[in-house]
Amino acid sequence: MLGVPKESDAKAIRDAFRELALKYHPDRNRDPGSEDRFREIAQAYAVLSDPQKRAEYDRKGSGFPAGDFFGKMDFGDLFEGFPGGFFEGLFHRNRGEDIEVTLEVPLWRIAKGGKEKVVVPVDSACPDCGGSGAAPGTSPKTCQACGGTGRKSTRKKWSENEIVIEQVGPCPDCGGTGRIIEKPCPACGGKGRVRREETLEVSIPPGIGEGSILRIQGKGMPYPGGAPGDLYVVVKSAKDPRFERDGADLWCAETISLIDAVLGTKIRVPTLDRPAEVDIPPGTQPDAVLRIRGKGLPGGDLYLRIRILVPEKLSGMERDLYRKLREISAGGS
Ligand SMILES: [Zn+2]
Ligand SMILES: [Zn+2]
């Protein structure tokens, strides 16, 4: 699984693990399943890096009790220089789920920065059953399959290096709660929680990058007797009829007449604050791009694409003048 041969020395294992752990750490990799993958990697590392466990594995070629995997493990030196809490809560998770929401922010707000409202779905204890999930007047029973612990161990084998890991996971019978609800509460359907929407304010830094993720600690799902999860706000630029965003730059388009393109003109162009006066030089070509410095998002420019309108209908006088122009230009070349 770590992609290293059996006889690898400690440093090779450490390097391989470090690389994988960085790739799958849930703070960096938001793909579903990355957290489980990260945990598996950490477990494999726990076996491979401990000479005693390794020797035991090499001798028996079988699984290890899951309970003591992390007891003596010291990840500290491996992740020197990484933010605190890199491993916390991943193995002995007693915190609520993280929530991810997407927030569309208008370009002017991205330019200036400031507060934006975000609506977050959060769970809270069902008022009808007090959070037990059992219909009022009844109470949940202890799960027979796990004896109320909510956890059951399963064995997992990785073919790549033939390590068998005994993994402790949630009990399938009770879903990890340790309790069986025979008569579910009708208000919450036995979940014990009801969902409501909470409006929060988040601070948008000026010029925030497209798709940036703001992490707001403790604003995820609550966890009874534990810490709440975190809220991740994915910031996207709201669609704007006038501008398209390209990093810190903005793009817009204006249409001018054929005569203005030939002779040059001055036009007013919308920007995120007040309109700008732009000189269109004589001889401007279709799809020419003019740069208006400093009028993009912070650190960027506004690019103006020029479209040229060729007249479809001409008055008799205009037609005469265009014909005359043609004669002149034919004669001149
Ligand atoms: Zn309920
Ligand atoms: Zn159970």
Distance 180 CA to ligand 2 centre (A): 8
Distance 181 CA to ligand 1 centre (A): 11
Identical topology for domains 94-129+191-239 and 244-332:
yes
Query: Which residues, chain by chain, have CB under 5 Å from ion ligand 1?
Result: 126, 128-129, 185, 187-188
Quick check: 27 pLDDT over 70?
no
User: Which-ligand-closest: CA of 171?
Assistant: 2
Query: What does the alpha-carbon distance between residue 168 and residue 261 come to, in Å, rounded to a whole number?
Result: 73
Distance 306 CA to ligand 1 centre (A): 61
Query: What does the alpha-carbon distance between residue 23 and residue 21 come to, in Å, rounded to a whole number?
Result: 5
Query: What does the alpha-carbon distance between residue 305 and residue 291 come to, in Å, rounded to a whole number?
Result: 9
Contacts of residue 278, defined as CB under 8 A and 6 or more positions apart, other chains included, come to: 266, 267, 268, 269, 290, 292, 304
Distance 265 CA to ligand 2 centre (A): 77
- Whole-number pLDDT of residue 225: 75
- Whole-number pLDDT of residue 162: 66
Alpha-carbon distance values, 72 to 52, 90, 277 (Å): 11, 16, 69
Distance 118 CA to ligand 1 centre (A): 27
Distance 125 CA to ligand 1 centre (A): 8
Distance 74 CA to ligand 1 centre (A): 42
Distance 140 CA to ligand 2 centre (A): 12
The CATH classification number of 94-129+191-239 equals 2.60.260.20
Buried b (16+ CB within 10 A) or exposed e, 204-223: beebbeeeeebebeebbbbe
Distance 177 CA to ligand 2 centre (A): 7
Nearest CA to 68 among 142, 152, 168, 164?
168
What is the arithmetic mean of pLDDT over 313-330?
A: 94
Task: Give the domain ranges of the chain.
Answer: 94-129+191-239, 244-332
The answer to whether the beta carbons of residues 295 and 271 sit under 8 Å apart is: yes
Query: What does the alpha-carbon distance between residue 199 and residue 177 come to, in Å, rounded to a whole number?
Result: 29
What is the arithmetic mean of pLDDT over 122-135?
A: 88
Distance 154 CA to ligand 2 centre (A): 14
Reported pTM: 0.57
User: Which-ligand-closest: CA of 146?
Assistant: 2
* Euclidean distance between the first and the last CA atom of the chain, given in angstroms as a whole number: 75
The 10s digit of each residue's pLDDT in 221-234 is 887 778 889 999 99
- Whole-number pLDDT of residue 88: 44
Query: What does the alpha-carbon distance between residue 233 and residue 214 come to, in Å, rounded to a whole number?
Result: 5
- Whole-number pLDDT of residue 96: 85
Quick check: 329 pLDDT over 60?
yes
Distance 8 CA to ligand 1 centre (A): 54
Burial class (CB in 10 A: 0-12, 13-18, 19+), 182: exposed
Query: What does the alpha-carbon distance between residue 239 and residue 173 come to, in Å, rounded to a whole number?
Result: 47
Query: What does the alpha-carbon distance between residue 251 and residue 60 come to, in Å, rounded to a whole number?
Result: 65
Q: Where are the alpha helices (DSSP H) in the chain?
A: 10-24, 34-49, 51-60, 107-112, 258-263, 316-332
Distance 68 CA to ligand 2 centre (A): 22
Higher pLDDT among residues 97 and 49, named by residue: 97
Domain range 244-332, CATH class: mainly beta
Query: What does the alpha-carbon distance between residue 128 and residue 135 come to, in Å, rounded to a whole number?
Result: 8
Query: What does the alpha-carbon distance between residue 41 and residue 49 come to, in Å, rounded to a whole number?
Result: 12
The 10s digit of each residue's pLDDT in 258-306 is 999 999 999 999 999 999 999 999 999 999 999 999 999 999 999 999 9
pLDDT band, residue 69 (cuts 50/70/90)? very low
pLDDT band, residue 169 (cuts 50/70/90)? confident
User: Which-ligand-closest: CA of 144?
Assistant: 2
